[in-house]
Amino acid sequence: MATPAVMLQGTGSNVGKSLIVAGLCRLFARRGLTVRPFKAQNMSNNAAAVAGGEIGRAQALQARAARAEPTVHMNPVLLKPESDRGAQIIVQGRRHGHLDARDFTGRRKALMPFVLGSFAKVCEGADLVIVEGAGSPAEINLRAGDIANMGFATEADVPVVLVGDIDRGGVIASLVGTHAVLDEADRAMVRGFLVNKFRGDPALFAAGMTAIAERTGWQPLGLLPWLPEASRLPAEDALDLTGTGRKPGDTFIVAAPVLPRIANFDDLDPLRLEEGVSLVLVPPGRPIPSDADLIVLPGSKATIADLAHLRDEGWDIDILAHVRRGRRVVGLCGGYQMLGRTIADPEGIEGTAGVVPGLGLLDIDTVLTGDKTVRPVEAVHAGTGYAVTAYEIHLGRSEGPDCMRAPFRVAGEREGAMSPDGLVIGTYLHGMFAADDFRRAFLAQASGGTFRASLAYERSIEEALDRLAAHVGRHMDVAALLAIAQERGGESIR
């Protein structure tokens, strides 16, 4: 007997599918159901390390919302862009090399058995599976060999609910237009629609909901208002990065240059959400603020190319001046590699084989190798003894004299590097700022003892998920959604 399941697809990217799935997962988990998230194919450089490999950060958040252990099967195909035309491909958690966009279009069909196998694993023991699509089924030029939207839905026989975003405008056209371009078989998979990110009086769009239903024959399942609290949850796409301005009254300024292939940028979230901290995300064309208390160089999916971009922007000059003023720099993963003397790529993993100079702020050298480290870790901060739950996702190894002053210990081994004066720190540990005790101690030290952090980060994520669940439950016809999921069979769920 098939496990009840429903798939949320969108009229485009960034319509809010990921957070709606997370909200539904938490809603049904609170009702006592064993609910699991699934996304066949994701494209994101924001990843999470789980047992067996890596998945998209959004699926890890959805698993957390479902109160389930995240697994590689929840996101069996992950594409991590390395350039405008190519990406690293992760299959069931493991690196499967690099694919050009044109090659992937032709090779997707071969990935369907992995996708269906993972979906079957996720369904095992679940009362309900909530599936998220990718992009839009309206991209009918990509339908042949599709594994992310209608290709998966028809193959796995999962009914679809289509999500439109009213905030960007044209939501009636996007929903009705999607109905118009889908072929008959794909159109028949869609059972209902949602309109997301509404602002104002819902009565003003009642006629709009009716118009969509009349023109498509799809059941209206809800008009979801804009939820400001959703911004407290980790973002999936670099386009979602917020916090480029300063908040009035903030006393501690953190600056982070936005690199073209920025990765695992949710590392910055605990700093962004900390009361009294302004996170300034520095876009191309602007200098790093000279009054920043801390510069964070985030992770990168293309370290050498992003280092060249950093230099083209003149940010290297800003960073060196920042250190000369006696202020701190933290490099995370790819940012850590940039801080060293050299980065060698003997195998041409990121492009042309060779060696490039780093920023020279840490006495280390990095060699990029084909072996990828992906693991959750429990670390200890050497300076305070505070525990840090983190994860590593990186290619290459970094070695040199400054590693002897490693800021962390993992399983008794040194991790990371620190300059002799303690102003520059590099580490491969993602997620370290989520550890409240460490973050409070670090910010206190970086501010000379004048700043006191107060955020309980993990608790704030749980509270945001609970509010999201309540929001979705209040504004969506949940009973109708469950009835749609039940079409696949399985025992009755309520």
| Catalytic (active-site) positions | 333, 430
**Phi, psi angles (nearest 5°) of residue 233:** -90, 150
Give the Cα separation of 445 and 492 in Å (integer). 56
Give the Cα separation of 135 and 143 in Å (integer). 12
Would you put residue 333 in left (φ > 0), alpha (ψ -120 to 50) or beta? left
Give the Cα separation of 124 and 4 in Å (integer). 11
Give the Cα separation of 329 and 315 in Å (integer). 13
Cβ distance 90 to 54 under 8 Å? Answer: yes
Structure tokens, 18: 């990921």
Give the Cα separation of 445 and 227 in Å (integer). 35
Residue 361 C-alpha from the chain's centroid: 29
- N-terminal to C-terminal alpha carbon distance within the chain: 18
**Tokens 């059972």 correspond to what residue?**
191
